Structure 1
Amino acid sequence: MPPIRRVLVLAVDGVQSLDVMGPIEVFCDANDLVPGTYRIDVVGPGRDGQITMSNGLKLGVDPLPEPPPRHDTLVVAGGEGARRASDDPAIVDWIARASRRARRTTSICTGSYLLAAAGLLNGRRATTHWNYCTVLAQRYPEVDIDPDPLFVRDGDVWTSAGITAGIDLALALVEEDLGADVALAVARLLVVFFKRPGGQSQFSGALSVQQASRPALRELQAWIGGHLDEDLSVAALADRAQLSERSFARAFRAEVGQTPAVYVETLRVERARALLEDGAQSLDAVARAAGFSSPEVLRRAFHRRVGVSPAAYRERFRLAA
């Protein structure tokens, strides 16, 4: 039987509820599969044994244990409250001391603010919710902030992106402790379609694309999405927009925020993702359908934008099916 691993989950007033509950559900389901694996305690500086989460619901917490006990994993949940608490010397000091008593220290979403305030991220690579990466980097310049991954491990410190990414991080912790089979079984129980690797991008590249203001370019954007397997060179697109190549490229970048080439590659990668999620067996067929000139060009673009190879991406969906 594996040893019992004590997990301390720190929750403060204003915490994001899923930052707390997501990882807890992962550890609890792992306990169901491998009984006695984890003991989970939710602690926090609450009044009368409870805190108020950002959604207004109350959550029961145990007092911050003094001195911090030896434990396996410290999980610092995020949310608006965590960012506020990063200015609270008592909480920051407790985290610094508790981390020294843990085998590994983790943060969910903006819980990274608390780790940074405690000096635990100095000289380390870390991530947080994409919307707060810039401010975190400005406030703590000694931290190497990477805004793209779902989660980052640097030594014994793990940080994750926003909200649901805490589930991905917790699954990775379970995989480290109990193996990939147990982690995948937990993902299935939670109806998480596949266990996303930490290096995968926080969000779909297509979500960052804006619509052009002039109707002709908006119409062209819509047309591109349905003709990804055709010639979408700047020359061909400019001709369709009835503009010179130079005028088209300048107008497209000004209004869409990306060059035509980057825009087309983004949509082609999204198309490839959809095909791989549906279980497409041949990378040659995926490359052709998405408009890539070869499987190798697909691999390079896919890894650059998604953070994993097309084969690995497809395999995770296959295993979770």
Structure 2
Amino acid sequence: MDDRLTVVIGYPQSELLDIASVTTPLHMANHLGAAPPYRIRLATSGGGSLPCDSGLTLEGQAALERITGPLDTLVVSGGIGHEAAAGNPVLLAHIRRLAAVSRRVASVCTGATLLAAAGLLDGRRATTHWRYAGTLAAHHPNVIVDPCPLYIREGRVSTAAGVTSALDLTLAFIEEDHGPRLARIVARSLVAYLQRPGDQAQISMFVSAPPPEHPLIRQVVDHVVSNLDGDLSPATLAALLNVSERHLTRLSLEHLGKTPGRFVRHARTRAAEQLLVSSSLSVADIAARCGFGSTESLRQSFVTEFGVSPTRYRQARTQAPG
């Protein structure tokens, strides 16, 4: 395969972030050495410009009517124009045509409405933005709508909850195509907090306190939560800010109430706690994603923070009532 042809279908009033959260990570993967690379095309009716619901306009790169297979990946974007688009029989016919010659098919947010209208989600479990899940289920009773996950992959058809969850799904595609190392490098390059698993809940991973007012400490916090599996030693953090470890410790105690080391451990433990209750990842995988050197290191930190082991915490939090 010379390249992986990826076609993103846009329509009037598509959501710009739904499109960019797919195209940007793929472009980044190419920049970082993806082989074979992704060949990305934004397809529109007639290949014309695309007015997005944000008020900005994108230029189409290909006429939807002229695209032929085979395709590696077909992605249908979401946006407030999804209902009108789903009522366009010509557009739906092109989606069905291209889906038939694509290795995998995906939708972002309310793009699921178009896949459902095209009959591509019948009998499948699918997700969309939680705000539109009820409408999707009511209009398409043959679709098994689950409003909770960030994304769902069923065979070659995937659906993402919307907006930045498209980034998570695209990272999963990159991992499938090129391995976890490249996917993690792309995630880090995009300053994505975590490469979140699909069964992570749509609701925000953290209900966090307001960011610290001190600019250096705010920079530390942003760096820590964006690089939990990286080197977050006090020496490394101090070097990042170009200050001494002693000065960093003083600022950290003043503005976070913790030393840098304790803050890093707290952030990693809280991230692990969220993944334990909202994903099916193993404890070992969670330990690695959150920067713990071993499952035992995670266990010790977890017992200190919550008073129980990660396994017992997960059992208690996920056990069905009654």
What is the CA distance between 1:80 and its match in structure 2? 0.8
Q: 1:301 to 1:31 in 2, by over 3 A?
A: farther
The one-letter code of the counterpart of 1:60 is E
The one-letter code of the counterpart of 1:190 is L
Question: Does the 8 Å contact 1:204/1:270 carry over to 2?
Answer: no
Q: 1:89 to 1:30 in 2, by over 3 A?
A: same
Deviations 1:50-76 (A, max 9, x none): 010001111111221336332110010
Match of 1:282? 298
Residue 90, structure 1, aligned to residue 90, structure 2: yes
Question: Does the 8 Å contact 1:112/1:128 carry over to 2?
Answer: yes
Query: Structure 2: where are the runs of 5+ without partners?
Result: 208-268, 277-286
SS in 2 for 1:65: helix
What is the CA distance between 1:286 and its match in structure 2? 2.1
Distance, in Å, in 2 between the alignment partners of 1:31 and 1:205 is 29
Distance, in Å, in 1 between the alignment partners of 2:206 and 2:73 is 35
Question: Does the 8 Å contact 1:128/1:159 carry over to 2?
Answer: yes
The more displaced of 157-166 and 185-194 is 185-194
Q: 1:301 to 1:7 in 2, by over 3 A?
A: farther
The one-letter code of the counterpart of 1:71 is L
Match of 1:245? none
The one-letter code of the counterpart of 1:121 is L
Match of 1:300? 315
Question: Does the 8 Å contact 1:68/1:94 carry over to 2?
Answer: no
The 5 A counterparts of 1:128-207 are 128-204=128-204
Distance, in Å, in 2 between the alignment partners of 1:67 and 1:73 is 13
Q: 1:27 to 1:303 in 2, by over 3 A?
A: farther
What is the CA distance between 1:284 and its match in structure 2? 4.6
TM-score, reference length from structure 1? 0.68
Question: Does the 8 Å contact 2:200/2:275 carry over to 1?
Answer: no
Match of 1:124? 124
Deviations 1:25-52 (A, max 9, x none): 1110111122651111101126x71010
The one-letter code of the counterpart of 1:54 is D
Deviations 1:110-168 (A, max 9, x none): 10000000000000111111111111111111111111111111111011011000000
Residue 8, structure 1, aligned to residue 14, structure 2: no
Aligned identity (percent) is 38
The one-letter code of the counterpart of 1:286 is F
Deviations 1:80-134 (A, max 9, x none): 1123211111111110111001111000111000000000000011111111111
**RMSD of the alignment, in Å?**
2.8
Question: Does the 8 Å contact 1:171/1:187 carry over to 2?
Answer: yes
Query: Structure 1: where are the runs of 5+ without partners?
Result: 208-267, 306-321
- Between Structure 1 and Structure 2, whose CA radius of gyration is higher? 1
TM-score, reference length from structure 2? 0.68
Distance, in Å, in 1 between the alignment partners of 2:160 and 2:302 is 31
The one-letter code of the counterpart of 1:49 is G
Q: 1:130 to 1:190 in 2, by over 3 A?
A: same
Match of 1:250? none
Match of 2:106? 106
